[in-house]
Amino acid sequence: MFMLPSEGPKISGSRANYGVGSRVELNCTSAKSKPAALLHWYINEQPAENEYEFDSLTTLHSNGLESSSLGLRFIDIIISNIVSKIALKVQLESRQRRAD
């Protein structure tokens, strides 16, 4: 069985603004699918470092579908005097298992 998610992933834990040195901790959860979606965090269009991602989980639901979740945690530190913005995004990748 192969079923795409019916909606995009949900991000929780975010705030509108973070100050320099703030701890950023977010969670992304995919909608139910089969198989579970792969989630990838990006910071400023670059893949997040492995040490920033945590709690990669797959949940099996009673209807046989699965959902994925992946956390992101880092400290927002600006190393120069230039004010910058951090852009975060999550990429959801569906995967299909081959029947051999």
Phi-psi region of 72 (alpha: psi -120 to 50; beta: other; left: phi over 0): beta
Tell me if 22 sits within 8 A of 44, measured CB to CB.
no
- The candidate with the shortest Cα–Cα distance to 69, out of 54, 47, 50, 88, is 54
Position 75 scores a pLDDT of 83
* CATH pick for 10-90 out of 3.40.50.150, 3.40.50.300, 3.30.420.40, 2.60.40.10: 2.60.40.10
Which sequence spans correspond to the domains of the chain? 10-90
Using one digit for the tens of pLDDT, what is the confidence trace for 60-83?
999 999 999 999 998 876 443 344
Give the CA angle between residues 44, 30, 12 to the nearest 5°.
Answer: 60
Query: Which residues fall within 8 angstroms of residue 74, CB to CB, at 6 or more apart?
Result: 23, 24, 43, 48, 52
pTM: 0.77
pLDDT in tens, 15-67: 877 777 888 899 999 999 999 999 999 888 888 899 999 999 999 999 999 99
